[in-house]
Amino acid sequence: MQASDYLRLKFQSDRQLGIYVQRGMNSYVKETQNVLSNISSGIERASWYTSCLIPRYGDVCNELVTEEKRMSLSIASIFRYHDVIEQMLYLYFEMVIKDTENENEGGKAQGLTKAITGYIADAQTGKAARFGIAYAISKSLSASGTLSNIVAERVASKSPYVIFALQAFGIDQKAALAARKLKTLDPRYFGILYTAELEMLYYFVEPALEEVIKKVRAKILRNLDEIHEELRDKYNV
């Protein structure tokens, strides 16, 4: 089961998701920790809403309400895209290609293009090939068992229905904090996800992308070739 499938199941049926995850994950301790973490975050977020009772904290209240609205839009996007995780990954790789294009005489990712197509294409074909490679990496990473397990762990539980609401609120809290962090870490990528109504789902790809984003920002990774090598070594994609 791919990462995006877990998200669809989460927002269709918590019970159904629980069945799938119980079959695929055997560590009770780890799952219990995830449940408690979500509940704790849910309580934290609920406590933040007390700011709505204090006039001078109106901006905090407004931010929380805005995040809830954006979360609703992001949830709708899970069903709008064929594979929302793949789409988020592709948008990042596409951004990197566009950002580095002027520095890439002859087209960066030449080595990768040659390895996949068997030849170095002309500039226009090479550009199309690079975007095709970005799509291929996104699809492979989205379908990887590692990322699917990460998403499953972040949405799954074996807990009674009585605490599902707190857990869901906890996921909202973690998603909101991840989105806020991304806004500081890479404002442009945040803006791209925001436009696509996906920024509140960044939480689910954060484990795969955060280090890549940091290294790209620090110019440790400079192009799609180097990003692919980084992901290949870590996720075998």
Q: For the segment 149-173, what is each residue's pLDDT rounded down to a tens digit?
A: 777 777 665 444 445 566 677 888 8
Query: Mean pLDDT for the chain?
Result: 76
Q: How confident is the model at residue 54 (pLDDT cuts 50, 70, 90)?
A: confident
Tokens of 207: 């484990």
Higher model confidence: residue 203 or residue 37?
A: 203
Most confident by average pLDDT, 15-29, 117-131, 161-175, 195-209: 195-209
Task: Tell me which residue range forms the domain holding 13.
Answer: 3-235
Other C-beta atoms closer than 10 Å to the C-beta of 54 total 10
State how far the Cα of 176 lies from the Cα of 42, in Å rounded to an integer: 12
22 pLDDT above the threshold of 60? no
Does residue 188 or residue 99 have the better pLDDT? 188
Q: How confident is the model at residue 66 (pLDDT cuts 50, 70, 90)?
A: very high
Q: CA–CA separation, 69 vs 65, rounded Å? A: 6
- Whether the CA torsion 202, 81, 91, 189 is positive or negative: it is negative
What gap in Å lies between CA 121 and CA 113, rounded to an integer?
8
The DSSP-derived string for the chain is: --HHHHHHHHHH-HHHHHHHHHHH---HHHHHHHHHHHHHHHHHHHHHGGGGGSGGGHHHHHHHHHHHHHHHHHHHHHHHSSSHHHHHHHHHHHHHHHHHGGG-TT-S-HHHHHHHHSS---HHHHHHHHHHHHHHHHHHHHH-HHHHHHHHHHH-----GGGHHHHHHHHHHHHHHHHHHHHHH-HHHHHHHHHTT-GGGGGGTHHHHHHHHHHHHTTSS-SHHHHHHHHHHHH--
Distance from C-alpha of 9 to C-alpha of 78, rounded to nearest angstrom? 10
Is 0.95 surpassed by the pTM of this model? Answer: no
Report the number of distinct structural domains present in the chain.
Answer: 1
